[in-house]
Amino acid sequence: MHCEAQTVSVQRKLRRARKRRARQAMTLIEIMIVMVIMALVATAAGFAIIPQLNKAKVKQTSTDAKAVASAAELYMAEHDDCPNVDQLVEDKILAKDKNVKDAWGNDFSIDCDADGATVRSAGPDEQMGSEDDIE
């Protein structure tokens, strides 16, 4: 009888251990719920970050356009004609490592007149002459 009591006791302990393990383990549904929550958080973060990235590109392009305009005016003072970006780099007025293209990888447009140089970027839509052009 003592042996039977030990067997019953061991079986109870095994059942308790199984129940404990079952409570500690995560089900597939719980894992999927966590994944959905993580996806929602990542999507919300994306919606918050992407507009800021676009604003940063516009600001950087505007700053670069001003640097190219200054270099173009210096070139005009020395050569009496309107340069393009390649001429500014060739004459080492504008450093090659400076941003000689806008944030979208397009060339700047340089227009010269008696007042100086105006440098434009096509902007985010990459179409010159639209309302999102950057000077």
Does some domain include residue 128?
yes
The CA distance from 88 to 31, in Å, is 58
Range of the domain at 94: 32-135
The CA distance from 96 to 6, in Å, is 85
Does some domain include residue 43?
yes
Q: Which helix (H) or strand (E) holds 114?
A: none
Does some domain include residue 106?
yes
Q: Which of 24-28, 37-41, 85-89, 124-128 has the lowest mean pLDDT?
A: 24-28
| Alpha helices by DSSP H, 1-135 | 2-24, 28-79, 85-90
Does some domain include residue 41?
yes
Whole-model pTM? Answer: 0.64
Does some domain include residue 24?
no
Residues 29-75 have pLDDT tens digits of 888 999 999 999 999 988 888 888 888 988 988 888 888 888 888 88
Q: Looking at the 3D structure of the chain, how many domains does it have?
A: 1
How do strand 109-113 and strand 116-120 relate by DSSP bridges?
antiparallel
Does some domain include residue 15?
no
Q: What is the CATH number of the domain that holds 80?
A: 3.30.700
pLDDT above 90 (res 13): no
Q: Which residues make Cβ contacts (< 8 Å) with residue 110, sequence separation at least 6? A: 68, 69, 72, 82, 83, 84, 85, 117, 118, 119
